[in-house]
Amino acid sequence: MPPKRLFLIDAFGFIFRAYHARARSGAPPMRTNAGLSTEAVYIFNNMVRKLAKQYAPPYIAAVFESGEPSHRLEEFPSTRPTAPKRPPTSSSRSPTCGGLWTRCAFPCSNTPASKPTTSSAPSPAAPRPRAFEVVVVSSDKDMLQLVDERVSMLNPAKDDEWYDPAKVKVFMGVRPDQVTDLLALKGDAVDNIPGAPGIGDKGAKDLIERFGNVEEAIAHAAEVERKAYAKAFRTTPSRSA
């Protein structure tokens, strides 16, 4: 019997893009008589209705951002300093997108920002088999790191393109568990992450293919033939530092 399928919607990702899409297109803003912005809730509503109609998900939930600073901002304050402003409808507590979701009687997660573990030791708890097949509904490439044999990603912004581990490898050039290593090396302009100086997309993929991850690449910097890459590793701190 196939596993139950749970759809988890990256609510903030879609709200953020919807909120700024009309401004970029030059279209006039959508407002209520009271001046409340409605672009995000309108597009978010259409996306949810399309998802429900096309896939009739037996289990569905939305994940909103809590609005609290994340550990990434605490450890790397320069992340997205010039990013567009946060939509006022982005929280599940807002009377618009969040209100729409709760009025539809859908469950919602609004978890406070998590802290990274300070230990690299594996958890003593034995892994438990998942009761659900999880579908992450998102257009954020960062979410591809979550994909595995029981987690896939659906991107409505790309004509409902599905990503399994093999598709992630084709699209990103690395396995899902290596996505963060790839972005750490080549950088990510969207999140204003500079990456390692002198290492671009192809170089990052080649290095991850050869060494497996950032830490191993740094540890074996002396073996890297290209001088620009070796120099970047000598001046780039490890992620665990």
Residues 104 and 210 in one domain: no
What is the structure's pLDDT at 162? 96
More confident residue, 83 or 197: 197
The answer to whether the beta carbons of residues 73 and 185 sit under 8 Å apart is no
Which residues, listed in sequence order, are joined to residue 162 by a DSSP beta bridge? 154
User: Is the per-residue pLDDT at 85 higher than 70?
Assistant: no
Instruction: Give the chain's domain count.
Output: 2
Measure the N-to-C terminal CA separation of the chain; round to a whole number of Å: 45
Residue 125: inside a domain, yes or no?
no
What is the structure's pLDDT at 77? 59
Using CA atoms, how far apart are residues 109 and 210, in angstroms rounded to an integer? 39
Residues 55 and 97 in one domain: yes
Helix H, strand E, coil C: the string for 90-149 is CCCCCCCHHHHHHHCCCCEECCCCCCCCCCCCCCCCCCCCCCEEEEEECCCHHHHHHCCC
Both tokens of 223, joined, read: 């073996």
Residues 230 and 112 in one domain: no
Residues 77 and 114 in one domain: yes
CATH number of the CATH domain containing 19: 3.40.50.1010
CATH number of the CATH domain containing 185: 1.10.150.20
User: Is the per-residue pLDDT at 158 higher than 70?
Assistant: yes
Domain assignment of residue 31, given as a range: 4-119+131-172
Residues 109 and 223 in one domain: no
Q: Which helix (H) or strand (E) holds 69?
A: none
